[in-house]
Structure 1
Amino acid sequence: METSLQAQQALVNHQLRYAKKGLYLGIISGAAWGLDGVLLTIAGYLAPFWIKGYSLATVIVACLASAAMHDLFAGGWVAIYNIVTGRWVEYARSLRTKPGKIILLGALFGGPIGMGSYLIALNLAGATYAISISAIYPAVGAILGVIFLKEKINFRVWVGIIACMAGAYVVSYTPPQGGLEDFPYFYLGIFFSFLPVVGWALEGVIATFGMDLIDSDVALGLREIFSGFTLLILVVPLAGLIVGAGLAGWDIFAGAFKAGVPMMWVAVAGLAGGLSYVAWYKSLNMTGVGRAMAFNVTYPLWSILFGIVFSKCGLYSYSITVQGVIGACIITFGTLLVVANPKELLKLRN
């Protein structure tokens, strides 16, 4: 009897350690994504991604070129991780399956629409502003669930959705310090900040069907590489032709590699982005969707911390108003209410 109780207690302790590790990974995923956004913003202000006198059209294709480079690097880092862990052989097999093709379909929404718009928003509106608004995707997902899936949501979630909307309004009402002189396309950037919300929400819905039968790290590797090549080969030149910048995006992409430093910033950002996704998927499995997402969506607050740190180091000029900080906090709080009951977040004994 005593041996049985000891075995049960050992199992409970093991499960608690497993869940706590999931919480830590959730925190890492949020911190890494906040860092990713700040690093991409720094890279976006370096030549050839940005040169004084660039037209708006050139800025847009430069951001898309940066998005392509980011996802290719992220895919490369994840591929290295998968090689080390022995999952590399699953790439080709997964591509031949229906779930693998579903993952690629989701990547079209998460990459060209999600990441492409996200990079444009980072450049035009500033890091924390774009990052904060992009964090409301769980609230949008809840609303889409009501409309299309006839799901019912409770009072707590409605309060969270309203808080997200209020926070988005607070964040977007006033530009960063320096105003429209330093951020002439701030409100256009705010518009682009909402597009990743839709793109990532749709990707999540689609990819869920695929990842039921494919290892999450393999799915992530396929997603990032496919997104990067789609952005580079199709989206960058097509966007350039549409906005009147021609094939400038390819020149900027090649120029970033030639310049070296901008490419290295994007490479490190890709590493942070890949780490965020890997930690996020593992956290989902180890501690549950609600807790994992609750810690992941703290990335707007992490972006403020990293922005201040890099600014103090003289690496770039970080600018945010008190109103922007308040808005980011409101959005984070609202998103927490949408994804989980705050009282239950740290209750691991259940």
Structure 2
Amino acid sequence: MSQDTDTGKRTVIQDSLTTPSGLAAAGLVVLGLGLPYLPGTGQFEVFLTAQILAFAIAAVAFNVLLGYTGLLSFGHAAFFGGSAYAVGLVLRYTEIRELFVLLPIGILAAAVLAVIIGYISVRHTEVYYALLMLALSFLLYVVTVKLYTFTGGTDGVPIPSPTVAGVDYVAAWGYSGFLQGVLYYAIVLAFLVSIALMWVFMNSPFGLTLKTIRDSPDRARAIGIPVVRYRWYATIVSGVFTGVGGVMYALLNGHVTPGTVLHWSRSGELAFMAVLGGVGSFFGPIAGAGAFILLRSEAQQLTEYWHFVMGLVLFLVVVFEPAGVAGLVKRGYRKANELIDERRRE
């Protein structure tokens, strides 16, 4: 029995890695690992890639709810910003600077928020769930702004560079060396571990149960699945990994404010990334995060009306390519295989 199970797991892994999305993701991982050493790569390119990876973690986590559970959330800024602020406040009021201590603190903060917010919200579905998540997230935003003597208000809190294994690499190598030699790879490691864990969760009985709930909640209840409880679990899993992305973003950005990490628009951006990449694909939101960050960076340089450009892109994707970037990749992969088959027949 165990041998059959192991064989089944290997088959699932092989099938996932040989899909267009899986192959593209594997190629990007290899490219990402060597990025700081590529000719012509500077601090800006490394920073931008690290930012993409941080948001990719959060976007995939967001898709645990939207793509796998069928729940739309406008409150993920609470998890993203809550973890970022937890790290910032610990750095501000304590002597703790160790990266491997700060990360669990941020994750714990996101988990606590996810447990509380999720417990309140999951008893409602569809638009009511989305609005409750938005309301509770906005409440956290307002509290953070009002407690300015503790949180810094709208000015936020600075995030000094952490130590790693007790070593202050900024003092030893300078910020550029720390970014390209330490922080970047810490974010890459967090990305790989987070994506791997979420992939395991979504391909386990837990993930299959979420898909059953997404496809037919009534049928799930009829066969004995506690729908509300599993939606709560999904919210917690999603919130925890969104918190990982929030911690990485805070350490990379060096400063957090309510407007940059807790505002409702941050939740909207995660939804944008998931839709742009393709909510029907596990790896789609990773591509969506990359496309979103790069597109926004270019649009901001070209025009002050970059919000219009981003809105237009979202409109075009929803209307003409609902499957997102993942859908385009799959279609291109399929056509390429068809051409190869035709040439072989000739």
Same fold (TM over 0.5): no
Between the two structures, name the one with larger relative contact order (CA 8 Å, sep ≥ 6): 1
| TM-score, normalised by the number of residues in structure 2 | 0.30
| TM-score, normalised by the number of residues in structure 1 | 0.30
